[in-house]
Amino acid sequence: MRERLLDPSTPTGVGLGLRAEFMADVQQGLANDRVAFFEVSPENYMNRGGRVVRMFEDIAARHRLITHGLMMSLGSIEPFSDVYFKDLRGFLARHGSSWHSDHLCFSTEQGAVLHDLLPLPLDEVTATRVAGRIREAQDRLERPLAIENISYYLPMGRPQMSEAAFMTMVCEQADCGLLLDVNNVYVNSKNFGFDVREMVAGYPLERVIQLHVAGHTHWDRFDMFLDDHGATAEPTVHELLAWVVERTGPVPVLLERDKKIPPLAELLDEVTALQSTYDQALIRRGGAGHEPGVASVG
């Protein structure tokens, strides 16, 4: 599967999600040679103008990019927006890689954007329905999709299968890639009481073409873990990342930070720490470590 999606130009190693808070520093070159790529959400730049878009275009001309969507709402029951897909297809033609990713969730209702990534019922009927929408989305974009597992806090009805089994069924029926967010699985395991290593092992790791890593917060009042991307990724998440990389081989790994964003220098230090975890995992797998910007399929 990865052979079909990862071409030689696909960057591997650890990248960083591009955020407005530090775009000026990136434009000035403070991240040069410190990240393998930047991940960008097209919705932040489509049909917009102004200083931020000009900064983005300058950064895009000098850095490798991977695109990750926010608003496709693959789990919705409403038809896709023709306008959205037209705009997204144009953006990807200019800035996209050989594939695009979005979340396995629903995030719109009757045309309204809900500003959240909401879970789907974990059952075969939903898996089959969503797989059909993913196939349609791939046809509309004329490129493969990778779908990301989400964190959630309230199941949508009584689950009929595990997260991993649901994701496996969707990926196989849609013949798409998997963007595995190891922090999301970890947060869900803490909130719902399953074994995180056992769950990750059940995912279709042969379809993994990208990994996401982030920090999370413990909400003491309700003894709940929140996937808020507001802290440094903890050692347990590093260990889970390494366990997956030992089985997948080189893939792009993305560090996400969306709350309490520190100075760029601190984020780059965390990228370096994650890169060390990633390289050591490849060495244990039997490789020679990371070669920036080269896609090597395991």
Per residue in 130-144, pLDDT (tens digit) is 999 999 999 999 999
- Please give the structure tokens belonging to residue 248: 């997948």
Whole-Å CA distances, 129 to 28, 132, 164: 46, 5, 17
pTM to 2 decimals?
Answer: 0.91
Task: Tell me the pLDDT band of 3, cut-offs 50, 70 and 90.
Answer: low
Contact 85, 141 (CB under 8 A): yes
Provide the domain limits for residue 85: 2-285
CATH number at 161 reads 3.20.20.150
Tabulate helix, strand, coil % of the chain (nearest 5): 45, 15, 40
What pLDDT does 215 receive? Answer: 87
Task: Judge whether 125 lies within some domain.
Answer: yes
Per residue in 70-128, pLDDT (tens digit) is 889 998 899 999 999 999 999 999 998 899 999 998 765 666 564 557 788 999 999 99
**Locus of tokens 């496709």:** 72
* Across 117-126, 152-161, 202-211, least confident range: 152-161
Contact 134, 145 (CB under 8 A): yes
Closest CA to 13 of 285, 281, 284: 281
Task: Judge whether 116 lies within some domain.
Answer: yes
Phi/psi for 268 (5° steps) reads: -65, -35
Task: Tell me the pLDDT band of 156, cut-offs 50, 70 and 90.
Answer: confident
Number of domains within the chain: 1
Burial of 90 (0-12, 13-18, 19+ CB in 10 A): middle
- Please give the structure tokens belonging to residue 3: 């052979």
- For residue 77, the 8-state DSSP code is S
Per residue in 29-65, pLDDT (tens digit) is 999 999 999 999 999 999 888 999 999 999 999 999 9
Task: Judge whether 295 lies within some domain.
Answer: no
Task: Judge whether 298 lies within some domain.
Answer: no
Contact 148, 202 (CB under 8 A): no
Task: Judge whether 294 lies within some domain.
Answer: no
- Please give the structure tokens belonging to residue 177: 């890639």
Phi/psi for 274 (5° steps) reads: -65, -40
User: Rounded mean pLDDT of the chain?
Assistant: 89
Is 80 exceeded by the pLDDT of residue 5?
no
Task: Judge whether 290 lies within some domain.
Answer: no
